Amino acid sequence: MATHAIEIERRTLHGHFSRELPAILSIAPGDTVYARTLDGGWGLEPPHLDGSPRRLIEPRDAKLDSGHCLVGPIEVRGAEPGMTLEVRIGAITPGAWGWTRAGGWKSRVNSRLGLADGAPHLLVWTLDAARETARDQHGREVSLQPFLGVIGMPGDEPGIQSTIPPRVTGGNMDCRELVAGSRLLIPIAVPGALVSFGDGHAAQGDGEVSGLAIECPMDRVELTFDLIEEPRLTTPIADTPAGWVTLGFHDTLDEAAAIALDAMLELMTRTHGVSRPDALALASVVVDLRVTQIANGVWGVHAVLPHGALRGAAGA
């Protein structure tokens, strides 16, 4: 299988999804892509604590580049709607800096907490990939758990599609479990798949409650793309170091949870040979429901079945 390197340059970056967006690279199933990424906000440096403007990559189109700074799209030859894209996530190495912001803009969370007005609160982090730590300007440290906030493809509708809300075809999922060593499966909606990725996160809690993680560039991202005919999926799922993960996105938390749970029951019936009622009973014992994010216009919920949590013979 071939390997491909993508450099950061204006032609390899974009800020929207679209089935009409030309591919920057065409690869065969099984090929591996190596790339660096900017932070999701197109930054060449972190925001400044004194509020002065930071350097961003230019030029940018106000309409086409209003979303996350993404690498791609990449055509996977032979990909067709109804197939599944497999993304094997290899090395993910964050850059030297990151940032987190809270409050200062209108959102349902900020409004509910009384933080919508006034200046945003900023943390700027120094990242140490070797020590796996991040330190903010106040000397507080957290552990790194780097992942990409965005891996996804356009839906089958024409025109510009925002990078902000996650969809059935992936995108801005912001799932902290999608670390190195994960295998992500996403339904394909357009010929060629046209997959893009970016929005590096050095660390994030479930929920991404301020609207941002530790936003950072990535010095190295390694992704291997393949095609699978079966199973046919209706929402992204992943085999991660934490366990099997199924994701649901919707305008309501209830429905997002139902989508994630439905996908988990389907996974359990397929992999453990149990009936759907049996899967539900077992899920009530061993599956965790977690709020993926509350920041992206739609709610995200992921169900987690830890590896080894369910052992023994198949049930009824």
> Residue 27 has which token pair?
């690869």
Which fold is adopted by the domain 242-305? Endonuclease I-creI (3.10.28)
163 forms beta bridges with none
How many angstroms separate the CA atoms of 157 and 200, rounded?
27
Residues of the chain within CATH 2.60.120 domain(s) are: 3-78+91-158+191-222
Instruction: Tell me the pLDDT of the chain (316 aa) as tens digits.
Output: 899 999 999 999 999 999 999 999 999 999 999 999 999 999 999 999 998 999 999 999 988 999 999 999 999 999 999 999 999 999 999 999 999 999 867 777 777 777 777 788 999 999 999 999 999 999 999 999 999 999 999 999 999 999 999 999 999 999 999 999 999 999 999 999 999 999 999 999 999 999 999 999 999 999 999 999 888 899 999 999 999 999 999 999 999 999 999 999 999 999 999 999 999 999 999 999 999 999 899 999 999 999 999 887 565 4
Structure tokens at 219: 């010095």
d(CA 292, CA 160): 25
Residues forming CATH 3.10.28.20 domain(s) in the chain: 242-305
CATH 3.90.930 fits 3-78+91-158+191-222, yes or no: no
Q: What letter does residue 154 receive in the DSSP assignment?
A: -
Q: How far, in Å, are 9, 202, 300 from residue 6 at the CA level?
A: 9, 21, 30
| pLDDT tens digits along 101-150 | 998 677 777 777 777 777 889 999 999 999 999 999 999 999 999 999 99
Q: What is the DSSP string of 11-27?
A: GGEESSB-TTSPPSEEE
Classify 204 as helix, strand or coil.
coil
- Of 76, 87, 86, 88, nearest in space to 191 by CA: 76
Q: pTM of the predicted model, to two decimals? A: 0.94
What would the pLDDT profile of 1-10 be if each residue is shown by its tens digit?
A: 899 999 999 9
